[in-house]
Amino acid sequence: MDVGTRQALRLEAIGGRFDAWLLAAIVALACLGVVMVGSSGVAQAASPYYYLTRHLMFIGAGTVAALLVMRMELKTIEKYAQWLLPVCLALLVAVLLPGIGATVKGARRWINLGVSNFQVVEAVKVFFIVWMASYLKRYSEEVSATWPAMLKPLVVVLLFVVLLLLQPDFGSSALLLAIAGGMLVLGGVNMPRMFGPVLLLLPALAAVAIAEPYRMRRITSFTDPFKDPFGDGYQLANALMAIGRGEWFGVGLGASVQKLNYLPEAHTDFILAVIGEELGFAGVLLVVALFTLLVGRALWVGYECVRMRRYFAGYVAFGIALWMGLQSFVSIGVNLGMLPTKGLTLPLVSYGGSSVVMTCAALGLLLRVSYELDRAKRQVALRRSEAAAAPAPAAPAGEPARPAAAVTPLRGTSRLRQRIEPTLGVTP
pLDDT band at 353 (very low <50, low <70, confident <90, very high): confident
168: preceding bond cis by omega (within 30 degrees): yes
pTM (two decimals): 0.88
Instruction: Please state, in angstroms and as integers, the Cα–Cα distance from residue 100 to each residue in 89, 117, 127, 368, following that order.
Output: 15, 11, 21, 33
Q: Highest mean pLDDT: which of 91-105, 145-159, 225-239, 293-307? A: 293-307
Query: How many separate helices (H) and strands (E) can be counted in the chain?
Result: 16, 3
DSSP state of 1: -
Handedness of CA 38, 43, 112, 341 (dihedral sign): negative
Cα–Cα distance between 32 and 35 in angstroms, integer?
A: 5
Average pLDDT value for the chain: 85
> How far apart are the C-alpha atoms of 324 and 354, rounded to whole Å?
15
DSSP 46: S
Nearest to 183 by CA among 165, 157, 203: 157
| Banded pLDDT at 42 (limits 50, 70, 90) | confident
User: What is the distance between the alpha carbons of residues 263 and 70, in angstroms, rounded to a whole number?
Assistant: 38
Q: What is the pLDDT of residue 368?
A: 97
The per-residue pLDDT for range 154-187, each reduced to its tens digit, is 999 999 999 998 888 888 899 999 999 999 999 8
Read off the pLDDT of each residue in 180-197 and give the average, rounded to a whole number.
Answer: 86
- DSSP track, 59-106: HHHHHHHHHHHHTS-HHHHHHTGGGHHHHHHHHHHHTTSTTTEEEETT
Strand ranges, E, within 113-252: 117-119
Question: For 273-291, how does the pLDDT look when each residue is reduced to its tens digit (9 = 90+)?
Answer: 999 999 999 999 999 999 9
